[in-house]
Structure 1
Amino acid sequence: MAKRVIVVGSGVIGASIAFHLAKAGAHVSVIEAGETGGIATRASWAWINASWGNPEPYFRLRVRSIAEWHRLQKEIPGLAVNWCGGLIWDVPPAELDAYAKERQNWGQPIRKVSRDEILAIEPNLTSVPDFAYHAATEGMLEPLATSLALLDAARALGAEVLAETPVKWLAEEHGRVVGVMTDVGVIHADETVVAAGAATAQLLDSVGLTLKMDAPAGLLSHSKPAPKLLNGLVMSPGLHLRQTAEGRIVAGTDFAGADPEGDAEGLALDLQAKVEAMVKGAEGLGLDFFTVGNRPTPADGFSAIGRPHRRNGLYLAVTHSGITLAPALGLFAATEILTGARDPLISSFSPDRPSLS
């Protein structure tokens, strides 16, 4: 008989887990407190990468997940990743060289590019350094559309998606998690996956478990639509840029966005002004809207995935690197839940590690 699995959360991580579970034959119910597609996912800068400052085990996980994005593109209609590459020069030159050398030694195809090469890649930039690094294998996507495509693919395999259905607490019997309590009562399952982002810690607390995590706010500005002005991702000091499929330039002080500190509109207007100064053709474009997302982040900054304290019936998936890691974590979680086999690439990222308890 197929295992009944509840996935709490319909952001990109929950959607990927749901798809991979349904593909493997599980009976899946996705339960979302708000609108389908999640909260943090909507406000993501949506960079798929392996090139930020990660220790090697996390780098290897990210590289694998990039490969899994290519797989998913072939499997799921409507799932589009723009493998546009990215320019990076947002740390001091000596640090940038050292970081790039390390990644090159690990096998990442990241190359040093001169000022002229930078302008050949991004001719509309008004201010560029003497050199940067170009990560050609990285990309970006539209985060909400991606979550919805994954959920549609899960539905096509028999999954159900319940939106506007807040989970009050995890239901437990004799030390085993047996489902979730909602306004309509307990929904039972053989396995319950918590992929609820910032709400994760509260749900775990309902069964006496603790996970040290934070959910810092990050603001991104979104310009009004424009013709194509950027070819890829741009990571410059204090300003990270990308242009969406709709033509909006999305900007943050970095890829995570900045804390609005009580003046979200002021920060968004400041970011938009920097965009217009940085990109030829964006002058006078104007701010369309801004987003503020709370980034679910385990205390040490790395993914927490697995069974917390070996609690039967419960599986946890929370990470700040959701866009990059969604396909790999979805595949690995589904495999572990249904077969018990844990992929070596997530062996370092148990939710029971000392830094999180």
Structure 2
Amino acid sequence: MARVDMTETENGGAARREGTATRFAGRLRALRGDRGIWRRGILIALCAVLLTLLMVFHADIPNRIGNLGSLTETFLPWLGLFVPLLFVLALLRRSATALIALVLPAVVWLNLFGGLVVDKSAAGGDLTVMTHNVNADNPDPEGTARQIAASGADVVALEELKGDMVPVYEEGLAGTYRYHSVQGTVGLWSKYPLRDAQPVDIRMGWTRAMRATVAAPAGEVAVYVAHLPSVRVKLNAGFTANQRDNSANALGEAISHDPRQRIVLLGDLNGTMNDRSLNAVTSQLRSTQGAAGDGFGFSWPASFPMARIDQIMVKGVEPVSSWTLPETKSDHLPIAARVRL
């Protein structure tokens, strides 16, 4: 009986060892034979390369057809969402080729926008400025005025001021801001004296931009308020922005001729800092959000912000911090910045 038990044990152990060896050999053969890990996912890898090229050469996308270049640049940061999507697809396909290719768009996106992800704000500063497109159809201008007055800003620019709503904002802001000027559909409110308030011609046929000198305690600064024409995305015409572009050129020309060293631009430019069509303005001024902001600072639409088309830009002053404020009854979020004169 003992010999039989030994024989059975030996046979069982041999069977187990043989089974383990067979499984191990099978895995080795699978690894050696799975050359498809490099062949699979070629289409995903190609999409990753195309995404990389789109981000690298966005400035070369022509505007001749529906202003496609400007449309791409307006929502350029959102192209980064395709990286995790393609990553998941590459994992599902078990494609080493696709995973390696995805390094390219990830690196490019981080190079373009990684600096906006981190908080660059600091303490200090001499002047807090704010801008808000209050929306001509705002159902609660009184409440919006109260929120603006409570913001703590020293200088406030408002855009899209409808004529019959101007007195409402004047009354709501009078207790906080002693000085103000309204030119057409834009206005400037200040805790400090204003001088030389006047409209700025941005070639629209009516006034949607102005300039004034703010006599702040730390020094005088020229403040521009602008509301550039709206843009539209149409199926038959693409991204229609010609009037916006012409007005941007006129605004840039006015700023370039300004004798003051310190300049602050506040307003709804209906375009992002990436949009080449705003080069006449963006080439002269710095974005406070880009220099000292926390995050992307998207301001429109207020219900789900997807782009920063409201801007605070400066020349000759140092941005210290930049942020968005809580939603009002407008379709834009108000934005603010702290600067050092």
Same fold (TM over 0.5): no
Q: TM-score range by the shorter chain?
A: under 0.3
Compute the TM-score of the two structures, normalised by the length of structure 1: 0.23
Higher RCO (CA 8 Å, separation ≥ 6 residues): 1
**Greater fraction of residues in helix:** 2
